[in-house]
Amino acid sequence: MQLEGSVGVVTGGVSGLGFGAAQRMVRHGASVVMLDINEERGKEATEDLGEKSRFIPCDVSNPEEVSAAVSGALEAFGSIDVLVNAAGVAPAQRVVSRDGVLFDLDLFKFTIGVNLVGMFDVIRNVAAAMAANDPGETGERGVIVNVASIAAFEGQVGQAAYSASKGGVVAMTLPIARDLASAGIRVVTIAPGIMDTPLLAGAPQELRDSLARLHVFPQRLGTAEDFAHLVQAIVENQMINGEVIRLDAAARMPPK
Ligand X SMILES: NC(=O)c1ccc[n+]([C@@H]2O[C@H](COP(=O)([O-])OP(=O)(O)OC[C@H]3O[C@@H](n4cnc5c(N)ncnc54)[C@H](O)[C@@H]3O)[C@@H](O)[C@H]2O)c1
Is 149 known to be catalytic?
no
Specify the residue, 8 or 88, whose C-beta has the smaller distance to ligand X. Answer: 88
Report if residue 172 touches ligand X, rule: CB under 6 A.
no
Binding flag, residue 33, ligand X (CB under 6 A): no
With beta carbons less than 8 A apart as the criterion, state whether 14 and 42 touch: yes
37 lies in the binding site for ligand X (CB under 6 A): yes
Least separation in angstroms between residue 12's CB and ligand X is 3
Q: Which is nearer to ligand X, 78 or 209 (CB)?
A: 209
Shortest distance (Å) from residue 182 CB to ligand X: 28
CB of 18 or CB of 133, closer to ligand X: 18
Rule CB under 6 A: say whether 149 interacts with ligand X. yes
CB of 170 or CB of 181, closer to ligand X: 170
Size of the site for ligand X (CB under 6 A): 29
Query: Catalytic pick from 162, 166, 177, 248?
Result: 162
Per CB under 6 A, residues contacting ligand X are 11-12, 14-18, 36-38, 58-61, 86-90, 114, 118, 147, 149, 192, 194-195, 197-199
